[in-house]
Amino acid sequence: MKRKRSIGLAFAAGALFATGLAVGGMTNPSKVRSFLDFAGVWDPTLLFVMGGAVTVYFTLHRFVLKRGAPLFDTRFHLPTRRDIDARLIADAAIFGVGWGLGGYCPGPGIASSMTGAVGPVVFVVAMIVGMWIQRRIEFSVAHSAGEASANQVVIECARRPS
């Protein structure tokens, strides 16, 4: 019963999210690209979408966090990192280029993927491939760099009396 409610409410959150995106004009790629077109005929609509979303989420999330724990989990899982590193900026930059090229970010791409148009389907499939490629690279880098640290773990474990 609890699992059903958990699935149902996650579905409802996704449904509300899609409605917000569509009403706000985010599922219209040329509108999104017009927002990014500061040098051309700039369309500020997306600024209102972000403003509305940030205002509401800023207010609501404070009340939600006061509850101590979410409905279907024992605790909140919130990002704790606060440092700004080169990797974050480089990767956000890569995302921005893709966003500007297609006019889609992940949410609107997925929300448009079952509307019968080919473009968003191509976008979502390519996005998943992109995530997969990134994971492969990260894995191989971690693997080759990991040899040394793995040895270190063994040493650490050997040192520590259990």
Between CA 111 and CA 16 the distance in angstroms is 11
Between 136 and 152, whose beta carbon lies closer to other proteins?
A: 136
Ranges within 75-94 binding other proteins (CB under 8 A):
75-79, 81-84, 87-94
Between 5 and 156, whose beta carbon lies closer to other proteins?
A: 5
The dihedral through the CA atoms of 58, 60, 61, 65 has a sign that is: positive
- Examine residue 154 and tell whether it contacts other proteins (CB under 8 A): no
Between 125 and 153, whose beta carbon lies closer to other proteins?
A: 125
Helix axis angle, 45-66 to 2-24, nearest 10°: 150
Tell me how many residues contact other proteins (CB under 8 A).
119
Between 88 and 154, whose beta carbon lies closer to other proteins?
A: 88
Q: How far is the CB of 140 from other proteins (least distance, A)?
A: 14
The dihedral through the CA atoms of 134, 140, 141, 142 has a sign that is: positive
Contacts of 120 (CB under 8 A, 6+ apart): 104, 109, 110, 112, 113
- Is the Cβ–Cβ distance between 45 and 25 less than 8 Å? yes
Ranges within 20-59 binding other proteins (CB under 8 A):
20-31, 33-34, 36-58
- Examine residue 139 and tell whether it contacts other proteins (CB under 8 A): no
Ranges within 99-118 binding other proteins (CB under 8 A):
99-107, 109-118
